[in-house]
């Protein structure tokens, strides 16, 4: 599954296609506001950094809540083509 995601990122990057992903990642990373980083979060963080993605929902707002825990494991990474089209520079 991760390989398919990488292929999608590479394709969109090569064609400059805007991409917004809604990911139920179950990945924790301080990069998008979690208190700690788990193994899955480290792997996803490496992809985010490698492809210069922005995590649109980074911050302190929880995306998953139960009676036992709150966390930020659902993220919305966007590529630079999307960031540029949403926030054009003058």
Domains of the chain: 2-80 (3.60.10.10)
Q: Is residue 3 within a helix (H) or strand (E), and if so which, with residue range?
A: helix 2-15
Task: List b or e across 66-88, with b for residues whose CB sees 16 or more CB atoms inside 10 angstroms.
Answer: eeeeebbbbbbbbbbebbeeeee
Q: Can you tell me which residue has the tokens 């292929």?
A: 7
pLDDT of residue 57: 80
Encode pLDDT of 61-79 as tens digits: 788 888 888 888 888 899 9
pLDDT, one tens digit per residue, over 4-60 is: 989 999 999 999 999 999 988 889 999 998 889 999 999 999 999 999 998 888 667
* C-alpha dist (Å) from residue 23 to 45, 88, 89: 13, 25, 27
Does pTM surpass 0.75?
yes
- Reported as a single tens digit per residue, the pLDDT across 44-56 is 999 999 999 988 8
């Amino acid at each position: 599954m991760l390989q398919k995601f990488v292929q999608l990122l590479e394709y969109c990057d090569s064609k400059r296609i805007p991409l917004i992903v809604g990911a139920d990642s179950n990945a924790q990373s301080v990069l998008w506001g979690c208190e700690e980083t788990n193994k899955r979060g480290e792997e996803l963080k490496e992809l985010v950094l490698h492809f210069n993605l922005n995590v649109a929902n980074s911050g302190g707002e929880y995306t998953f809540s139960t009676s036992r825990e709150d966390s930020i494991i659902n993220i919305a990474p966007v590529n630079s083509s999307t960031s540029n089209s949403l926030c054009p520079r003058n």
